Structure formats: C-alpha cells, structure tokens
Amino acid sequence: MSILLLMVRTRTFDPATALTHAVELFASKGYSETSMEDIVKATGVSRYGLYGTFGNKRELFEQALDRYADSMGKQAFLRLLEPEASLDHIRRIFEGRVDDMCCEGATKGCLFIHTAMELAPRDDDLKDVLQKFMRRMSKLFSIGLESAKEKGEVRKDLDVTAAGELLTSTMFGLVVLGRTGFDRKTLNNIVENTLRAMR
C-alpha cells in the first residue's frame, strides 16, 4: 500500500489552465490589485485547490512569472534563434505587442513591468528572476540582430549586445505608452524608428 501516491479523490481542475488564468490577471492588473478571490472566480478553483497546488499568493505569482516568460519565449522570441531570423521577425514581435496593447478592452498588460515596479524593490529573489528573464530577452534580440546583420539588414558596426538591451527597453516603453492610451500608429512609429536606427 502506497501512502505517498494515495489520492482518494481526483482533482477537478487542471493546474496548468488555472495558472494561465492567473497569468492573465496578474499581467493585466499586477500583484496587489489582483486578489486571491479574483483568481478563485476566474479559475473556478477553490481556495483549497489554489493554496494546495501553488502554496501562497507570492509563490503563485512567481510561477505565473515563469509561465509568462516561457510563453512569451515560445510565442515569439525563440524564433529569433533560427538562422533565418531577420529584422522582420523582430518587427513582428513588436507589432504583436502593440496589438496586445491597443485592441479591444486593452486589458493585457505586462507582467515584467508590474514585477519591476511593484515587487522588485522589496523582493530580491523576484528581482533576480526578473533580471534573468530580461537578460534572456535582450540576448535573444541580440542573436536575431546578428542573423539580420549577416543578411545585411543592419549595419555591420552595430553593437548587437547594446542594441538588444535597447530593444528590451523599448518594449517596456511601448507598453507604458499603450496603457496610457497612445494609439497604434504612434506605437508602431516608435517601433519603426527604433528599427531604422539599426540600419
């Protein structure tokens, strides 16, 4: 008889989809403004389930941050690793983000910015995790730029490391402007002018 594996009643929710909902809420409203009650309602999962599966709000947030970074990577950034990555790949990443910020209820936000502004100053662990993600993001931009350089799409003397960090920074600036209601045209213009500087 196995004690550890005993599970007399099966779980009625999928932790992965629950986490997806949590990511959406946190990305939209940030940490403090998202209550566990909000998450209970959005996921349909009981407090018991949430606490049992994710620990507490802080730990749930950290897992949401992991997931967020992961899905951002898979959705868009990892394609920058392919040798055929071009400036257009980078442009599309930005345009996708602009669309997120401008269309419909524009409820999408940015978990990275929320973490940086709300939590990083008082939670060193989270700050380190966040910094790691941002460095990775910058690195992926750099790699994409290097491929673009080989294609002759960006100037030969471009410091791709510095440019990658600049693009990461631009990404956040865009979101902040998007949240305050700047329109798609303005945001895409910023993207275009930023990319133009690489050529």
Look at residue 165 and give the partner it binds from DNA, its own copies, none, a contact being a CB closer than 5 to 8 Å depending on partner kind: its own copies
How deeply is 31 buried, as exposed, middle or buried, from its count of CB atoms within 10 A (0-12, 13-18, 19+)?
buried
Q: Closest CB to DNA among 31 and 141?
A: 31
List the interface residues with its own copies, window 151-170 (CB under 8 A): 159, 162-163, 165-166, 168-170
Residues 158 and 195: their CA atoms lie apart, in Å, by 12
194: its two tokens: 């930023």
196 forms part of the interface with its own copies (CB under 8 A): yes
Going from the C-alpha of 20 to that of each of 59, 128, 161, 171, 195, the distances in angstroms are 15, 22, 32, 22, 32
The one among 19, 22, 25, 45 contacting DNA by CB under 7 A = 45
The one among 23, 25, 34, 145 contacting DNA by CB under 7 A = 34
Binding piece for its own copies, criterion CB under 8 A, among 38-46, 55-63, 83-91, 189-197: 189-197
